[in-house]
Chain A
Amino acid sequence: MAEALTLVKEQARAQGVRRRALIPAIILIVIVAACVFGPLVSPYPADALGVGLPFAGPSWAHWFGTDDLGRDLLSLVLVGGQISLTVGLGATLISLLVGIAWGIAAAGRRGWIDTLLMRLCDAVMAIPQLLFALVCVAAFRPSVISLMIVIGLLMSPTTARMVRSTAVSELADDYVVAATASGLTRRRLLVSEVLPNILPPMVVQATTNMADAIMLEATLSFVGLGIQPPDASWGTLLLQGYAKMYNSIWMLIFPALIIVVTLACLVLLSDRLGSAFDGKKVMR
């Protein structure tokens, strides 16, 4: 992973995209840091009732206003961010681990195993993600862990497909022929030659997955099947804000904004990293 990251940096520099990728990256870092450290320094613990008047709009004391129980909305958003980001990150990691193993296994052993694994991908992907997530959380009690696993597993076939197609085209590359001819075993070939070439596009995939995961969690929470109160994620805050929309529009606007900003940054980042990796396409 570290190697992949240095490569990202290197390629980004080469393409002069670093500056453009920097803005969303910085915003994301600020959001993550605020969620991690903000609650530690906030004067209002997220679970302290009545630190302000209920349904107060934004003010100097409470930047995002307060909710129906008079809690500080900013603190709630930051604490909610911890859960949203944890779910997003966890699901992304799971999807990458499972997806890479799945895709490499398929690409490495062509033939019927490949067919089988890819058809399994098709089967999972034939069920729209949101519907599948709905089925899963109907069966398992929604919690941070279960959402992480469910969302992660749901995204893994897409990742697996992507890994497989990259790996297959890598396997057709001359360096693989050369490595094979120089006597590498199949497994070593996949792990030490092909895998490092798959990781950089995986960084792009990871940002996309992260955006998808946060979106899916928010959507599930919005229909009431995601993170359950009193645990709050951005999605549940948004749901509560929506329920109190006519009492205090702020409760809706701020969680919505933070979700959109985070997702937009992830999308832009993946976009720009993606174009950084497309070094081959030089226009003349």
Chain B
Amino acid sequence: APSTQTTSATSNQPVVVGSSSGIPQLNPAIRTFSFEDTLFPLLWTGLTKYDQSGAVKADFATSWTSNPAATEWTFKLKPGAKFSDGSALDAQAVVDTFNYYLKPDTATQEANKLSTIKSVTAPDATTVVFQLKAANAVLPGAITGVRIMKMAALSTINKDPVTSGPYKVSAFTPDNTVTLVPNKDYWGPAAQLSEIDFTKTADSTAASTSLRSGDITVLVNLAHSDISTFSSDPSISLVKPKSLSQAVTWELDVSSPPFNNVKARQALAYATDRKAILNTAYYGQGAVSTTNTMLADDNPMHDKTGLIKYNFDLAKAKSLFAEAGVTSGATLTWWSGSAFPEWQAAGQIMQANLKKIGINLVIQANDTTTWSDKFYPAGKKYPGLIISNYQSVPSNPAFSMNFLLGGRCECNWNNSQYDSDFNKAVATIDPKAQLALWNAAEKLENSEVPLIIPVQSAPVAAVQSRLKGAWIEGGGQLHLESAHL
């Protein structure tokens, strides 16, 4: 059992942030692990950012406006800002950064969100103008992930990165540790921690051991199984997002049998014992998704009315499966990743239930690369496989429901109605009209079942109680910009 903490914490003590994956490199455009979303905001500023409630807030931009059609956006910047090397951080730097992100060679995960941008210009040192290919009402939210870098220093980014955020790097061992110290040239409120060490922990148990012993201050992704053992520990506080921000998504190939038949997909949705999965695999952390949709019940954009409820019902599942030609004796495959114990637990629950209606579920666990090879990128065929996965679900549907757009989702779902509803919603500035469009799209999602979404859950971070001010964003990212001892 965890005992009392050595609490002689001076502000000189480094704050150690542990996570199961290391940081392989520092270029924020090339984001590999979600863990890096905790690091990059400490080092680089964006034009905009999300706050705890999921609203878009000013970051380096002070204000922004669009034309009525939402095809041109103008951002005003803070004047007189500097990079950590003292050079000017101005509109030109912003333009250069965006041009780098938009280059087809740049393998960045932000590409989809930025796809509507046609050009970026800097009429003066504190103004940046975006020309769009199509109307986009949510551009300020779409560009939060773009970190303003000094492009001239890109080549040395792993050795001596020039930063624009509250901290800068003092030491970096790839895949192991990054040491941050305050950036004196930061334009915003000064950093409050004298040192932050990002470090790799072997596995969740080693991480929680180190948290107990006080060797790490912050554990970014606490294993679900550890949540209950820490919740009674006064020296540790658990940090959760305001809303459930992670959807458990099981992907099916809707372009090949048997899951090209919507009945088979619905059958699977009915065969899913959501409660058991929530309680056993996710240790009760989260909520079941009765309507099998991305947006959780607590999302203001979610409207239950008129949606099908997929209650656990094996009889119904059996008859729907039979209609889709999946009869007793059929075999399906659960394609899981070995790094995620909850995926395997869910698979085992599914296996036990499907067995009751005569369907064999073969469970295969894979290392991450093998796992993703099977279905990624979109367009691959994987008949009969159920692939466990999850998605971050920021509260704005534009950045969660976009996953189901044609050609995007590895489930190969192509629904032109859904796409047009979505695109219209993105281009609509009026909130009411937008909401109606979201609901229409969600209805399609609910009846067509492109994905099985049994549960919405939330990533939980654990921090030593002496550290205050850490919070988790709607998309699941832990933020330490305002953390202090």
Contacts and interface: CB of A to CB of B under 8 A. Distances in A.
Nearest to A252: B205
A68 B348 CA distance: 12
A54 interface: yes
Nearest to B228: A247
Interface string A229-253: 1100000000010111111000000
Interface in A142-199: none
A115 interface: no
Interface string B460-484: 0000000000000000000000000
A277 to B, nearest CB: 42
A229 B336 CA distance: 9
Overall SS of chain B's interface: helix
Contact of A245 (B205, B339, B348, B367): B205
Interface stretch (B24-32, B74-82, B126-134, B358-366): B358-366
A230 B348 contact: yes
A225 B367 contact: yes
A243 B203 contact: yes
Contacts of B208: 246
A240 B204 CA distance: 11
Among A228, A242, A245, the most chain B Cβ lie within 10 Å of the Cβ of A228
A49 interface: yes
Interface in A112-144: 141
B435 interface: no
Given A69-B280, A230-B347, A230-B348, A246 B338 contact: no
A224 B229 contact: no
A156 B208 CA distance: 40
Nearest to B349: A49
A242 to B, nearest CB: 5
A54 B280 contact: yes
Contact of A228 (B280, B352, B364): B364
B338 A229 contact: yes
A31 B203 CA distance: 31
A230 B334 CA distance: 10
A243 B341 contact: yes
B226 interface: yes
Nearest to A225: B367
Contact of A246 (B226, B349, B365): B226
Q: How large is the interface on A (under 10, 10 to 19, 20 to 34, 35 or more residues)?
A: 10 to 19
B349 A240 contact: no
Interface string B188-207: 00000000000000011100
A62 to B, nearest CB: 17
Interface string B317-361: 000000000000000000010110100110111011000000000
Nearest to A137: B367
A245 B364 CA distance: 25
Contact of B365 (A48, A54, A68, A229): A229
B370 interface: yes
B275 to A, nearest CB: 13
B280 A224 contact: no
Nearest to B2: A246
Interface in A234-283: 240, 242-247
B341 A240 contact: yes
Contacts of B363: 229-230
Nearest to A138: B367
Among B228, B336, B341, the most chain A Cβ lie within 10 Å of the Cβ of B341
A91 B370 CA distance: 25
B225 interface: yes
Nearest to A245: B205
A247 B363 CA distance: 25
B349 A230 contact: no
B370 A68 contact: no
A244 B226 CA distance: 8
B443 to A, nearest CB: 35
Contacts of B223: 243
B338 A224 contact: yes
A141 B226 CA distance: 30
Interface in B179-238: 203-205, 208, 223, 225-226, 228-229
Contacts of A49: 348-349, 352
Contacts of A229: 336, 338, 344, 363, 365
Interface in A56-73: 68-69
Contact of A247 (B225, B280, B345): B225
Nearest to A248: B225
B274 to A, nearest CB: 16
Nearest to B338: A228
Contact of B225 (A47, A141, A228, A243): A243
Contacts of B344: 229-230
B364 A68 contact: no
A235 to B, nearest CB: 13
Contacts of A242: 203, 205
A47 B363 CA distance: 12
23 contacts: A47-B352, A54-B280, A68-B345, A69-B280, A69-B349, A224-B338, A228-B364, A228-B366, A229-B336, A229-B338, A229-B365, A230-B348, A230-B365, A242-B203, A242-B205, A243-B204, A243-B205, A243-B223, A243-B341, A244-B225, A246-B208, A246-B226, A247-B225
Interface of B: 203-205, 208, 223, 225-226, 228-229, 280, 336, 338-339, 341, 344-345, 347-349, 351-352, 363-367, 370
The 9 closest A-B pairs by CB, nearest first: A228-B365, A230-B363, A229-B365, A246-B229, A229-B344, A49-B352, A243-B205, A242-B205, A228-B338
Given A47-B348, A141-B366, A242-B205, 5 more contacts: A49-B352, A224-B339, A229-B363, A230-B348, A242-B203
